[in-house]
Structure 1
């Protein structure tokens, strides 16, 4: 299995496997017939030095599958692949429980149910942009949320990864952990990531096979320190290079949550559904994965205008030869 398919398959546990491992390129927890009995999460790093009130363990039938971050009293950010079933559909909200504000997946904090799952409309189930989703909790929780950072971190900026994922880098070497771990690392230059990396909406995070996010960490946070407060910048998406071992190529790809800030705020602020609005200088309508486009259609996507040569459906501009870039819009 290529590592581009690694992180998605690896971050969803066995209980989710039948329903959610449609695109095994992410870091969902791997199948396991028994509850894990291993050291803390993430490969390398250290025991969590804080409770991290915003940290969530997304669970199905009591088993950890992915991480999530509390960004408002009733809303959490995670990865889109964590909520996607085998057929590409959004999984029912009733399947999920999230333990929030605890360093243990089995106790402490608040165990919340989910009333709504919102997947970003640009997520196509393939490697690439849009790997972000929201959980609306059935009721508000008392834990303190984390703010989304004002801007994307620059290359070489320090960042901290937090998660309950497995502690060994090889696929299938162990299940998810019951205790929380953290890893201090940095942001890579964009050219260190491959696997369909999109610099405008994703972060390339430095990793090694002994210091990395891994299977079970998908959707979990990458944070930066601003003054005395943590700010959210990323959600674990997939490995940064081909291979089935976490940290291969010295890179892990995170969704840049700051790039989707306006989309998140549409829900958290209560203004309703919809994708990020395109810049006003984009004359074409925003691309949608749910629209069939006849030849010579024009769409706007990620700050550019695109035109297709043949019929197109669920083909992401910039990731399909069918779409050719024909113009530039103002970048978000």
Structure 2
């Protein structure tokens, strides 16, 4: 359920708190935006028959806030509408000409569409960004999590339109989701601190997609997954609860 940005060196994903010094349990972790079809790596699809979030579930109803993010007209990432004219996504997904499709099960049709007029990176350097869109989209927005809502052991659900195969190929036509638990809320994978173990693996195209806890609060956005996926249900999400003051101040504009 995710997509690729660029593969960092193993040193770039060294273990953070909770991992023994020098041990990196996710040496294949990379950012998870979608590549243009022509750039997809061939690879060997270990789970080639499964759906994205690789091995997750096909959604039967789209959350009204879910968004597909396009760069230059091509699908790149997943995102969330958090106010009438603001969308939350991963910082590594932004740049260039962006547009969104909000509230659709289908990656390439349905919902409401809007163009992005402003792109704002979270100022401390986290993998979080807010995008202002050119019209108000009326929808039910998710409540944003706060202190204590994203901790080790928290049950969660994540959404994305990402790749369906373990080698990060074949984008899904429909929204997918997976469910599981935050097994470490202080990990460090490309700066993301919420590491999960789910019934589906995060993959390219899932970047920027939402994580919600079992109270339905939005607590994270997708930063990384393993490429190729390994069936562990791994994904790394940036903890938005740490940046609530910036998010609240920005979407209040």
TM-score normalised by structure 2 residue count: 0.78
Shift of 1:8: 3.1
1:271-321 deviation digits (Å, cap 9, x = unpaired):
xxxxxxxxxxxxxxxxxxxxxxxxxxxxxxxxxxxxxxxxxxxxxxxxxxx
Tell me the residue number matched to 1:139: 135
Decide which of 147, 151, 155 is 1:154's aligned counterpart.
151
SS of corresponding position for 1:260: helix
The 5 Å alignment of 1:306-325 reads none
Q: Does 1:32 align with 2:37?
A: yes
Asked whether the equivalents of residues 72 and 146 of structure 1 are also in contact (C-alpha less than 8 Å), the reply is: no
Tell me the residue number matched to 1:184: 179
Give ranges in structure 2 of 5+ residues lacking alignment: 8-28, 40-48
SS of corresponding position for 2:250: helix
Q: Does 1:57 align with 2:40?
A: no
Q: Does 1:117 align with 2:116?
A: no
Q: 1:195 to 1:142 in 2, by over 3 A?
A: closer
Decide which of 182, 185, 196 is 1:205's aligned counterpart.
196
2:66, 2:51 → 1: CA distance? 15
SS of corresponding position for 1:252: strand
The 5 Å alignment of 1:217-232 reads 217-226=206-215, 230-232=216-218
1:18-68 deviation digits (Å, cap 9, x = unpaired):
xxxxxx93100123139xxx9753111111132200100001243210011
Aligned length: 221
Tell me the residue number matched to 2:79: 68
Q: Which has the larger radius of gyration?
A: 1
TM-score normalised by structure 1 residue count: 0.61
1:39, 1:106 → 2: CA distance? 20
Shift of 1:231: 1.5
The 5 Å alignment of 1:253-332 reads 253-270=236-253
1:250, 1:184 → 2: CA distance? 9
Decide which of 218, 222, 225 is 1:236's aligned counterpart.
222
Asked whether the equivalents of residues 64 and 176 of structure 1 are also in contact (C-alpha less than 8 Å), the reply is: no
Q: Does 1:8 align with 2:13?
A: no
Tell me the residue number matched to 1:19: none
Give ranges in structure 1 of 5+ residues lacking alignment: 1-5, 11-23, 84-90, 124-129, 271-332
RCO higher in structure (CA 8 A, sep ≥6): 2
SS of corresponding position for 1:258: helix
